[in-house]
Structure 1
């Protein structure tokens, strides 16, 4: 079974679902001694299986796949409809589809877990919750190292008790979706440097640090705080191997975008991105309804894919450090 102690370079590439993760990016990070991750959310089971095989076709090194843990809560139809009405003028301007109803989906979770078992991926990580002990046990019996993503000590203890092998401690400065276990929960808002030692002390598990990494000095500080590796995502967004939209790439270096914020405006779940017109306009109105809000805004994001003020510009607080260089160079520049 994979162990983080075996990494040549203690750097992990964050899973970035929805197209930003690519076979090339995952393989590139792993090939230079780090641990590349692929964001498997939003894919079908068959597509995930094919992706895993393509990654293996590019590298013999260990890699990881991340899945979102589904949580079905009562559907707030009134809030959904109110938000849809608020978005309607923008959708009309863009010529975007805005569905009147959106069914709940668990994102093919069980089928994709089975793919990870069948393919015996080196590492399986989970976000938005921890799978139950039975799922963790199935994966471990297949030789898969299981990691849980957490934002506070309470979540870390839940994951430890479910039998995971390792944890990823996601600080508040991390870009993209927050890993909080409950859709309706508040963000613990703990800094990575504080979260890592607290998680390690509470669980004794190998812990990867994620959030706000800008430089080699940040990596060294997080390793000194007790992390076994440091995960970066925002620093990879401008790499040629990433599937980042051109408008997103440009925004990361555009002086017009100066800050990040967490918002539910795009998906109904908290996520950190560059503050653009969409976030500024719709954050206050967005309800905590996931995954239905994510599906609702999908047509708008597709129609406005070239407009940085429309699409989600996921990024952590260290976004200005992202460079348009190969992923291998990013990893080399962070190696302690």
Structure 2
């Protein structure tokens, strides 16, 4: 199964390793191209990107690789919030703004046409693979992308979500275990009912869907990749493993935090974005605990905390940054993306199937 699977044929790659499309600037064109050139699937995390920025990134990727690559986008959500609710959250956030010297009070902003414009660029640029998080696109979007020959990958945190991905026409599905760093991809049920570990989730999903399954969540090396395949997955998606590489666009404080943290120090929190995400516990998370019911829904909360996170990075204040990380930080390492990728492949190949 290591060198021969439906997933390898579907994606036209040599090794069943996908670099997760982490939004927020982590997945630079250099990182995406390096992973694709090494025989995996590099993925641009375009969830927050304006269409012109996506276009620029894609041109850089195409200038650096002729191999397949992917783009990850977020299924849009349009929650409402009253002025009173917004004011209450701004009051919660004011101490952090005061600490950082931020004077402007933030108003939440949502571009309701962003997803549509992102899809247009993906079609225009003939992106080989498109993956989705936070839900499944409408069937007309699926059909439009498939007409362009684009391979589609969904995300699921439960068996039911995986089945729905297949029914809507996804070509493959990422089964995201609760160990994963960053945002949970949950979209059907409350996240508290959807925190199944990777080892439990993968075999249950593979028993219920016919499309290729890609394991995700806490996988950092060749052992994790091969274990995923023993459980029935045809590939593995790794995110945190690449955050600390040289090509990663993660802030220096973020990289350092992952390299110096323990498996017991990551927690799920909605405090930064309004959607549960796994990151390294810090002062911001601790002070926001107990206020979960007051937070705005994603992406409104994410919009309100953006300035805090940005200014904290500028001022070297990691205690106020979103330091996303999976539950296996002790396995993180430095080096180029190519070196890390090759190390994963070498270890996987040494393990008897």
The TM-score by the shorter chain falls in which range? Answer: over 0.9
Give the one of 312, 322, 325 matched to 1:312: 322
Could you tell me which residue of structure 2 aligns to residue 69 of structure 1? 75
**Aligned partner of residue 178 in structure 2, secondary structure:** coil
Does the C-alpha gap of structure 1 residues 113 and 263 become closer, same or farther in structure 2, counting only changes over 3 Å? same
**Aligned partner of residue 320 in structure 2, secondary structure:** coil
Partners of 1:76 and 1:194 lie apart in 2 by: 40
Give the one of 111, 117, 129 matched to 1:105: 111
Could you tell me which residue of structure 2 aligns to residue 199 of structure 1? 205
Deviation string 1:256-304 (CA, Å, 9 cap, x unpaired) is: 8951001011111110000111111113314251111111111111111
Partners of 1:97 and 1:157 lie apart in 2 by: 47
Partners of 1:202 and 1:182 lie apart in 2 by: 17
Does the C-alpha gap of structure 1 residues 255 and 315 become closer, same or farther in structure 2, counting only changes over 3 Å? closer
Partners of 1:3 and 1:218 lie apart in 2 by: 17
Instruction: Determine whether 1:227 maps to 2:233.
Output: yes
Partners of 2:200 and 2:72 lie apart in 1 by: 24
Question: Does the 8 Å CA contact 1:271/1:314 hold for their aligned counterparts?
Answer: yes
Using the TM superposition, name which of 4-13 and 74-83 deviates more: 74-83
Deviation string 1:297-319 (CA, Å, 9 cap, x unpaired) is: 11111111121111000000011
**Offset, 1:77:** 4.5
Give the helix-richer structure, 1 or 2: 2
**Aligned partner of residue 241 in structure 2, secondary structure:** helix
**Aligned partner of residue 203 in structure 1, secondary structure:** coil
Could you tell me which residue of structure 1 aligns to residue 252 of structure 2? 246
Question: Does the 8 Å CA contact 1:148/1:166 hold for their aligned counterparts?
Answer: yes
Question: Does the 8 Å CA contact 1:12/1:36 hold for their aligned counterparts?
Answer: yes
Could you tell me which residue of structure 1 aligns to residue 310 of structure 2? 302
**Aligned partner of residue 208 in structure 1, secondary structure:** strand
Could you tell me which residue of structure 1 aligns to residue 161 of structure 2? 155
Partners of 1:40 and 1:97 lie apart in 2 by: 29
Does the C-alpha gap of structure 1 residues 256 and 268 become closer, same or farther in structure 2, counting only changes over 3 Å? same
**Aligned partner of residue 230 in structure 1, secondary structure:** strand
Does the C-alpha gap of structure 1 residues 76 and 165 become closer, same or farther in structure 2, counting only changes over 3 Å? farther
**Offset, 1:80:** 3.1
Could you tell me which residue of structure 2 aligns to residue 328 of structure 1? 338
Question: Does the 8 Å CA contact 1:267/1:293 hold for their aligned counterparts?
Answer: yes
Q: TM-score, normalised by structure 1?
A: 0.94
Does the C-alpha gap of structure 1 residues 295 and 240 become closer, same or farther in structure 2, counting only changes over 3 Å? same
Using the TM superposition, name which of 100-109 and 89-98 deviates more: 100-109
Does the C-alpha gap of structure 1 residues 215 and 99 become closer, same or farther in structure 2, counting only changes over 3 Å? same
**Aligned partner of residue 174 in structure 2, secondary structure:** strand
Partners of 1:292 and 1:334 lie apart in 2 by: 38
Does the C-alpha gap of structure 1 residues 33 and 48 become closer, same or farther in structure 2, counting only changes over 3 Å? same
Does the C-alpha gap of structure 1 residues 62 and 309 become closer, same or farther in structure 2, counting only changes over 3 Å? same
Structure 1 portions without partners, runs of 5+: none
Give the one of 117, 128, 136 matched to 2:134: 128
**Offset, 1:10:** 1.1
Could you tell me which residue of structure 2 aligns to residue 8 of structure 1? 14
Partners of 1:312 and 1:98 lie apart in 2 by: 20
Could you tell me which residue of structure 1 aligns to residue 290 of structure 2? 284
| RMSD of equivalent CA atoms | 1.9
Could you tell me which residue of structure 1 aligns to residue 3 of structure 2? none
Does the C-alpha gap of structure 1 residues 191 and 288 become closer, same or farther in structure 2, counting only changes over 3 Å? farther
Using the TM superposition, name which of 75-84 and 211-220 deviates more: 75-84
Partners of 1:142 and 1:30 lie apart in 2 by: 21
Structure 2 portions without partners, runs of 5+: 1-5, 349-353
Could you tell me which residue of structure 1 aligns to residue 351 of structure 2? none
Question: Does the 8 Å CA contact 1:13/1:231 hold for their aligned counterparts?
Answer: yes
Deviation string 1:97-151 (CA, Å, 9 cap, x unpaired) is: 5535323333610011111111121110000000011101110110100010111
**Aligned partner of residue 272 in structure 1, secondary structure:** strand
